[in-house]
Structure 1
């Protein structure tokens, strides 16, 4: 069996370091926030090239607090993509704002900047581009549109740790950037976790209070906040893993290049790295006319695959109240119907990449 993702394989490579870091926290008696979380914030901010990082309990919480700190509130509209994990829209809904969807670029799977301006209304407050699958959205035109209309840009970088656009790291271009440390991410915790990066001192201070019951000091609650604090043990684990992130990223990129070379003229459409961007390949999603048939065939041959994402957010029952229907965002709907994610992780052998590619070529059709 070739698994879609093998978290145990990664654990085996750094087992001693991880266990020592976790044991140190267990022996400390300080299990929430603490020194390791503070150090992780400093190290991750330095990695992203930002002034601040605020560690939280999930990527969803990171999005939620970023929107609040940016002044987005009830009745405001936030432009984003329908082709993403539902958490992007959920965070917008948490504050009573309204997700406004814009279709995707069918090549990169990211929000199409050419369609953003027509979605802007007097109620629009923010744009949340999602750096899907590990590749950053086309940020220059997005930032230009935002500046023209007085909007804030919050990057959903939950799948893009270490990705770059014009040499700048994901999370560093908007007013803030949000990351998830869910275990399957390129930088994953041994549990849940998230972080926000920003260069805005005021927003950083606001988000630090919001994650910890609105306190600016113990038992002094300046604002109504949340319990979004990061566990100390996750901070310690993520510090160990952050030191390996660039090595793991290059391993992902090597495997993506091999897949591309083997499949580029084959029966599926391979994903592309856009000019001026560094793709970190959280997901290697090919497009094929009969996705379900290919997935079943690969599973019968011992290859696990993934679907990211089979139903776009605007067609999810939870967002039926927005009034969208089939055909409203055709590029997103087409992608949802024909993308299939192949196994890709740093520990995947190059021979297994060759095996998967050969099986794909045996049983796939491109549109």
Structure 2
């Protein structure tokens, strides 16, 4: 059915067509905004390549200048006609050829544009090279207000500056004049942090902003070098790996520009010079029995007991007790009951009758303090 057959349709007929052939498209600037439409060809033949004709209820917030996404392509609405109906609108939308990056107070916005030359309209295919002046248009929005005369633009295989702009019927037009490309003038700025603690992490992704003649360079190719690879290294993707405490200079380069940043690396991880173990009265624990006392002991590098000295400066919060059966953690399971111990470095636990199915299995008790973990295996008996 061509679009002419839609003339005179009642609300019911329009709703039936919409329900049967509805396609939902998303707004370019806000993908949460959806538009329900259906598409038609014109009376003569197919709609010209790169253009679509579509219908939608008049209550739909589509207007000239609206940009929507259809099958991964951006389309700009260029007309709106009621066709003597108060039920629906019909519009033509033209597929965008390219995007123009606009600087705004919130950063950089990519705006879809349709390209028009003096002799023909580019409405399909991929543009690789255009010579001379180029005209473009898009839907009018707050972002395009930031485009100014003499702004520079690199595209279509050439370099341009904005010669003029104007607004007409909610469409924004821009006239580009081809000009000689300026000599590259790259600048770099480090945008990350410079102080690190190995206790938190030993890797960090370096980030930089790169401009060329004032224009932001997207996905710049940056090379990296560390002044001391014993303190920190950087891979080709800018991931810095910190190896030890110290100060190191990271030199980043792009397009002839360099940026040297001094990184301060510290390590507040508490250093320990002891080993730990868990002491129990026996190597078994009775299912449904009484509490069993678990004690974390400390020894120096010579194996001498230093528990009393080490524990003197600790609290129960320094000790983390966990338990596992066949590799699965049951620390907070209802069949395991924990109770405070008689000393800072001790804990009491018992197994309820719910653990009967694990009879003859081994339960592994673990105690972690200052990053050091001790474990103890107990046979589950009845």
TM range (shorter): under 0.3
Whichever of the two has the greater Rg, that structure is: 2
TM-score between both structures, scaled by the size of structure 2: 0.17
Bigger helix share? 1
